[in-house]
């Protein structure tokens, strides 16, 4: 009985160590058509939560994502990921092509597909992703232009 329990504990430990991550938490900047802050925290070897606080169109958007990470191309420190989540955004109204739009609040769902590299020499990583979204309320519709470059301090 003890050998069985020890074998299970050993197997779980090995599977936990065989992960895609090279860090536990990363905090940094995100730049694309929207700019902002990003925080990513791993809950296990392959799963992470990412929070994004960004600004665009004279407004503010908060996004939460759940991501699955895997090693890419058998390169240590290079990981690809995909995931899903949701956002809420607030805009005061802006001028788009000379037309004044009203203020609105949006709520929607997001997907994400990306790749990132964790540098071994310095505690930073760099990533690029595509984050399409669908606004379900407020200014509704599909937004395919959510890609960005992220640079994070990792620890």
Q: What is the pTM of this model?
A: 0.81
What pLDDT tens digit does each residue of the chain (155 aa) get?
555 554 444 444 433 333 456 789 999 999 998 999 999 999 998 999 999 999 987 789 999 999 999 999 999 999 999 999 999 999 876 655 555 567 889 999 999 999 999 998 999 999 999 999 999 998 889 999 999 999 999 99
CA gap 28, 95 in Å, rounded: 29
Rg (CA), the chain: 19
């Amino acid at each position: 009985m003890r050998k069985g329990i020890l074998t299970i504990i050993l197997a779980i430990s090995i599977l936990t160590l065989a992960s895609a991550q090279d860090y536990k938490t990363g905090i940094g900047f995100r730049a694309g058509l929207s700019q902002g802050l990003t925080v990513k925290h791993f809950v296990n070897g392959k799963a992470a939560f990412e929070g994004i606080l960004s600004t665009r169109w004279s407004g503010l958007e908060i996004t939460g994502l759940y991501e699955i990470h895997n090693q890419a191309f058998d390169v240590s420190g290079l990981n690809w990921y995909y995931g899903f989540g949701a956002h809420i955004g607030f805009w005061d109204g802006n001028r788009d092509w000379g037309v004044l739009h009203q203020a609105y609040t949006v709520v929607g769902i997001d997907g994400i597909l990306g790749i990132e590299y964790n540098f071994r020499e310095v505690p930073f990583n760099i990533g690029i992703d595509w984050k399409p979204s669908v606004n379900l309320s407020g200014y509704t519709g599909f937004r395919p232009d959510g890609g960005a470059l992220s640079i994070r301090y990792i620890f």
